[in-house]
Amino acid sequence: MTRIRPSVLLSSLAVLVAGAAFFASPALAQSGEERSVLDGVYSPEQASFGQEVYEAECALCHMTQEFTGRIFLLSWSNRSVHDLFRSIRSTMPFDRPGGLTDEQYTAIVSYLLKLNDFPEGDEEMKASEEALSQIKIEPPPNQ
């Protein structure tokens, strides 16, 4: 049985890793789909609708301070808006998880973005997994 020398294995591994890094990064950059909450991803009307839903469905048990500030942003940073949406939809309202429509959950998330001073835009966030997954959460530059 022929044995492969460890040094040969190691150097082929290094080539593989370098190759993967080379192909992975430009692919992400070129897709052009990736957006961030800094890009104005929700509309003002959507955030006010979200506020109405929040006040009717969430404010009984929560204070908005729970969803703003450094801790909140640090814990959601580098995840997508869809991660936040999905987490809220699968657990809240506490007494009937998933009880609202996807549009209502998306509006609540846009209201939370507004509370965190992320900019409004001209278009509303689409309530689809595909659209929400493309928006990355990151702290505003001053955080």
d(C-alpha 102, C-alpha 6), whole Å: 53
Asked if residue 86 binds ligand HEC (CB under 6 A), the reply is: no
Stretch that binds ligand HEC, among 16-24, 25-33, 56-64, 129-137 (CB under 6 A): 56-64
Stretch that binds ligand HEC, among 19-27, 92-100, 114-122, 125-133 (CB under 6 A): 92-100
Q: Residue 60 Cβ, how far from ligand HEC at the closest point, in Å? A: 5
Can you tell me which residue has the tokens 């505003």? Answer: 140
Residue 99 one-letter amino acid: G
Asked if residue 57 binds ligand HEC (CB under 6 A), the reply is: yes
d(C-alpha 18, C-alpha 20), whole Å: 5
d(C-alpha 14, C-alpha 18), whole Å: 6
Footprint of ligand HEC on 105-124 (CB under 6 A): 108
Q: Residue 121 Cβ, how far from ligand HEC at the closest point, in Å? A: 21
What's the token pair of residue 21? 């890094």
